[in-house]
Structure 1
Amino acid sequence: MGCGRNFKDDNRVAGEFTDDNCVCDVVRSIADAQNDVTDELCDVSCERSINSLVSPVSRNNLDTVPFILYGKDLKPFKGFGADIQGGGMNARFDCIESFVFRVNEVSDNCCAVLELLTCDGDPDQPGDQHGAKCDKDPCEQLNGLGVNELERTGICITVDLNCFCAITCLPAVSLL
């Protein structure tokens, strides 16, 4: 199945994509798995990351499958958002950009709420949430990053998953 093409095969095997959009299917699977994680539950591929997340055997407290999306031009998608730091007359926007996301929800029509994940400092400190600032690709943002340095920002964007052609899942991590 490719971007913009429908997979129409009545002989498909269980576990294969069933929607018209494989990126939407994978992100929906991640959302479902993350929603199934409880406080007691807790190699790199989307299937492996999802299995790590919901594996009752490991009890590893993993709660998030971070991922990178690619547009129809197969370039990595970078999301942008801003938080407000400070208050009153000193309130300032703190801009965040990131190639790495956590899914919060996916609707039936493949619209998804994605949270930007960052790796630069305490999200409550102004100017520390740089995420992918000046980075040309996801590897520049992530290379050498400690797994426990990936952080939630609380900044969410809504995207149409039908606009993406590829997804790379990172290993499951604990962010909640």
Structure 2
Amino acid sequence: MGCGKKFNDNVAGETIFGDDNCVCDVVRAIADAQEDVVDVACDVSCSRSIDNLLAPVSRNNLDTVPFILYGKDLKPFKAFGADIEFSGGRQRLDCTESFIFRVKEVSDDCCAVIELLTFDDEEPDAPGNQQGARCDKDPCEQIDGEEVRDLNRTGICITVDLKCFCAITCLPAVSVL
């Protein structure tokens, strides 16, 4: 399937691909599913992750479907952002980079606000402790050997045009809230 081609897939009996941008449709379905979970308090695929998030059995606090986006060149998208670190009484910018995201919202025109997720087992949300994918050349280098419970939100969000991506890989549903 190439960029802009239609593809049909069902999640919980509903077609999730409604327009010509399947990446946008999948990310929108993840956002809707995550919103439902938060409001209510193949083996690995986007459909499976969304189903697991919504399944009655999943009331085990799953709240997020982490995902990786791929550009039109089919290379994984790595995002960068910065937070403020306090060091010696001074404020400094601290760069974080990641291949892994959590959707916050998706607009009707397929613009999305996504949050960078990183692995940090020391202080998950403390500025200056978010190593993310620093120096990693691909998502596997960021993910391999990490404990699922160490996947954390960074609070760093970026806005992307989902029409600029051709592929998405969903990771198993997790709890990061």
Q: TM-score, normalised by structure 2?
A: 0.89
- Report the secondary structure of 1:86's partner residue: strand
Structure 1 contact 40–59 (Cα < 8 Å) conserved = no
In structure 2, relative to structure 1, the CA distance for the partners of 1:135 and 1:15 (3 Å cut) is: same
Determine if contact 2:117/2:154 at 8 Å carries over to the other structure.
Answer: yes
Assess if the C-alpha contact under 8 Å between 2:65 and 2:174 holds in 1. Answer: yes
Q: Give 1:37's aligned residue.
A: 37
| Matched residue type, 1:168 | T
Q: How many pairs are equivalent?
A: 171
| CA offset digits 1:6-51 (Å, max 9, x no partner) | x399xxx95262111000000000000000004765x210000001
**Other structure's SS at 1:31 match:** helix
The DSSP-based 3-state class of the residue aligned with 1:37 is helix
Spell out the pairing of 1:1-176 with structure 2 (5 A cutoff): 1-5=1-5, 7=6, 15=15, 17-38=17-38, 43-86=43-86, 90-120=90-120, 121-176=122-177
Structure 1: gaps of 5 or more residues: none
Q: How many Å separate the matches in 2 of 1:23 and 1:64?
A: 17
Q: Quick one: distance in 2 between partners of 1:24 and 1:92?
A: 35
**More strand by percentage:** 2
Kept in 2, the 8 Å contact 1:147–1:173? The answer is yes
Cα RMSD of the aligned pairs, angstroms, is 2.2
Alpha-carbon contact 1:40-1:61 (below 8 Å) kept: no
What is the alpha-carbon distance in structure 1 between the residues aligned to residue 111 and residue 59 of structure 2? Answer: 31
Q: In the superposition, relative to structure 1, how do residues 111 and 169 fare at CA in structure 2: closer, same or farther (>3 Å)?
A: same
Q: 1:150 is aligned with what amino acid?
A: L
Q: Deviations over 1:42-97 (max 9, x none)?
A: x2100000011111133211000000000000000001000001289610011000
The amino acid of 2:103's aligned partner reads V
TM-score normalised by length of structure 1: 0.89
Q: In structure 1, how many angstroms separate the alpha carbons of the residues matched to 2:165 and 2:53?
A: 23
Structure 1 Cα separation of the partners of residues 168 and 97 of structure 2: 18
CA deviation digits over 1:80-135, x for unaligned, max 9?
00000128961001100000000000000000000000103324444321100000
- Mean CA deviation greater in 147-156 or 113-122: 113-122
2:83/2:156 contact within 8 Å kept: yes
* Ranges in structure 2 where 5+ consecutive residues have no aligned partner: none
